[in-house]
Amino acid sequence: MVRPFPLFNAPRVNPFVQGLSDLRAICTAPGKVILFGEHAVVYGHPALAAATDQRTHVEVDCCGTEFTVNGLRIHDRYHSYLLTAVKEVWGAQGRSEPIRIQTEGGVPSASGTGSSAALTVATVGAMHALLGKRDPAAIARDSFRVERLTQGGGSPTDTSTSTAGGGIAISRLDDPPNVGEKLWDLHWEDPENPRAWAVERIELPDLTVVVGNSGVKGRTDEQVAKVAHAQKKNAVVRDALADIGRITRDAVPLLRRKDFVGVGALLDKAHAALHMLGVNHPAVENLVQVARATPGTLGAKLTGAGGGGSMFALTERPQAVAEAIKAAGGTAYVVRLGGPGVQWVGAESMEGLPAPSAAPAADETAT
Ligand code: MEV
C-alpha cells in the first residue's frame, strides 16, 4: 500500500554545494480528546473531538548526512510514523536531502490522547514549512495519509483535530454534520472501500475535563482492526456503532446550550456503547467507575481507540476527580479543551532553492 520509497534511490545532493544547509523549521501540534464518536467515525458516523493543551514539538533540519530522529538513524521499527512522513511528504515532493528530526513529546504515548497524530502533524507541518507551504488543509490531508498508511486503517479525526485545534465535527462527506464552518474534506482512494469525510469547526464552550491514563498501552491499529472484524460478523456491534452516531448528533445541541448535565449523561451512554464494541479495558473501566463515584462528576467515558489508554470525566470538581484517579493507580491530567492547532515556532523555507541534482545515486539504505 505504501508507495515505493524514492528517497534513498534518489540522486544524491551535496547540500553544501547547493546552498541548502542550515534550514530548519520548528512546528508544534496538540493532542486531542474524542468527546463522542470514536470507532463509529471510521464507518461514516459523526464524531466530535477537541484539541488539548498538551503539545508535541518537532524540529526538522535540512540537511544532514543521513536521515535521523533524535540523533539516531531513522528506522521503521522505532519511527514508523516519521519514516512514512519522510516518504510521503519529503520524498513525494522530490526532495532527497537527508533531514534531521528532533521530537519533544508533550502528549503521553499510546494513551488515546492523540500522541501519534500530534507527532505526525508537527512533523508534516515542519516539512511543509521547509517546502514553503503553510496550508492547514494540506497538512491535514498529508497527515491523514501518513497516519492511515502507518496504522493500516482509521479516520482523519485525530490528525484533523491536531491540525485545526479547537473543536471539530467530522462525518461522511455525503452526510455532513452542518454544525459550523467547513474546514476541509478528506478522501481515501481505496478502490475496495472508498471513503470521504467532511471536517467542520464546532464552537465548544470553555471545557476542562480530567483525563485519566490507565498506563495500559492501547494500540489504535489493533483496536480498529478488532472492530472492523467484529462489525462484519455481529449485528450487535453494528447497532452499537449506529448508537454512537446518534449519541454524537444528540450531543451537538447540548454542547451549544452548555447543558453539561445532558452532555455528561451522553458520555455515560457513549461509554456503554464503546464497551459493546469490545474496546473497553478493565483498567480504564476502573478509572471510569472511580470518576463517576466522585461527587460532582457529570459523566465519564473511555476516549480514543481503547484496549487500554485513557478515559475522561466531565466534572464540577476536577481536582477531586484527579485525586481519585491517582489513588486508583491512574495518571491524571486536568486538560483544557480547545487549544490551538498546528503552529510554527520558526521556519525557513527551501522554496526557490534548486531541486535535487541529477548526479548518480549514492549507495544508501533505508535503515
Ligand atoms: C482513535 O483515536 C480514534 C478511532 O476512531 C480511530 C480513527 O478514527 O482513526 C478509534
Q: Tell me the DSSP string of 71-135.
A: TEE--TTT-HHHHHHIIIIIGGGT--S-EEEEEE--S-TTSSSSHHHHHHHHHHHHHHHHTT---
Residue 362: the pLDDT is: 29
Using CB distances shorter than 6 Å, the residues near ligand 1 are 34, 38-39, 41-42, 154-155, 157-158, 220, 224, 304-305
- Quick one: CA dihedral 146, 76, 218, 110, positive or negative? negative
Q: Catalogue the E-assigned strands of 194-247.
A: 195-201, 208-213
Residue 21: the pLDDT is: 52
Atom of ligand 1 nearest to the CA of 157: 8
Q: Whose CA is nearest to atom 8 of ligand 1?
A: 155
Query: How far away, in angstroms, is 155 Cα from ligand 1 center?
Result: 6
Atom of ligand 1 nearest to the CA of 117: 2
**CB neighbour list of residue 49: distance below 8 Å, 6 or more residues apart:** 32, 33, 34, 35, 37, 157, 158, 160, 161, 167, 168, 170
84 in Cβ contact with 2 (< 8 Å): yes
Query: How far away, in angstroms, is 221 Cα from ligand 1 center?
Result: 9
**Which one of 32, 33, 41 would you pick to mutate in the ligand 1 pocket, going by the greatest count of ligand atoms within 8 A of its CB?**
41
Looking at the chain, how many residues does it have?
A: 367
Which residue's C-alpha cell is 514539538?
A: 57
Query: How far away, in angstroms, is 158 Cα from ligand 1 center?
Result: 7
Residue 11: the pLDDT is: 37
Taking CA atoms, 30 is separated from 51, 134, 161, 205, in Å, by 6, 17, 8, 18
How do beta strands 68-69 and 99-104 pair? Answer: parallel
CA 288 to chain centre: 23
Low-confidence ranges of the chain (pLDDT < 70): 1-22, 191-194, 346-367
Residue 190: the pLDDT is: 75
Q: Which residues of 229-261 are buried (b: 16+ CB within 10 A; e: fewer)?
A: ebbeeeeebeebbebbbebbbbbbebbeeeebe
Atom of ligand 1 nearest to the CA of 38: 5
Query: How far away, in angstroms, is 62 Cα from ligand 1 center?
Result: 32
**CB neighbour list of residue 345: distance below 8 Å, 6 or more residues apart:** 26, 27, 28, 57
Residue 176: the pLDDT is: 86
Q: Whose CA is nearest to atom 2 of ligand 1?
A: 304
Q: Whose CA is nearest to atom 9 of ligand 1?
A: 154
What does residue 199 show for φ and ψ, rounded to 5 degrees? -115, 125
Query: How far away, in angstroms, is 345 Cα from ligand 1 center?
Result: 28
Residue 8: the pLDDT is: 34
Residue 309: the pLDDT is: 95
Atom of ligand 1 nearest to the CA of 112: 2
- Which among 31, 26, 100, 22 has a CA at the least distance from the CA of 57? 26
Q: Give the global pTM.
A: 0.88
d(Cα 146, Cα 142) in Å, to the nearest integer?
6
Query: How far away, in angstroms, is 159 Cα from ligand 1 center?
Result: 10
d(Cα 77, Cα 358) in Å, to the nearest integer?
31
Query: How far away, in angstroms, is 226 Cα from ligand 1 center?
Result: 12
Atom of ligand 1 nearest to the CA of 153: 9
**Which one of 33, 39, 159 would you pick to mutate in the ligand 1 pocket, going by the greatest count of ligand atoms within 8 A of its CB?**
39
Query: How far away, in angstroms, is 334 Cα from ligand 1 center?
Result: 22
Q: Residue 91 carries which side chain, given as an amino acid letter?
A: G
Atom of ligand 1 nearest to the CA of 32: 2
Taking each continuous run of H as one helix and of E as one strand, the counts in the chain are 10, 13
31 in Cβ contact with 122 (< 8 Å): no
d(Cα 308, Cα 332) in Å, to the nearest integer?
15
